[in-house]
Amino acid sequence: MIREAILYRTKNAKAKTVMISNTIGITSTNVFKTAVQIAEVDCFRSSISPRK
């Protein structure tokens, strides 16, 4: 019983860590995408009206 409970807990903990790492990965890629989009918009704006 106890061994099963421990196994169950470790499995759950592993699943949770995987989920957390996945969400972190998703958010970091989203942040990166938005940063790239912002940079592209800035480049586009500067090409229209060059800042001097």
State the Cα angle at 30 between 32 and 51, rounded to 5°: 45
Residue ranges in the chain assigned as alpha helix (H): 2-48
Extents of the domains making up the chain: 20-45
Q: What is the pLDDT of residue 38?
A: 83
Prediction pTM value = 0.40
User: Dihedral sign, CA of 14, 17, 19, 22?
Assistant: negative
Residuewise pLDDT in 10s, the chain (52 residues): 677 766 777 777 777 777 777 777 778 888 888 888 888 888 777 776 655 5
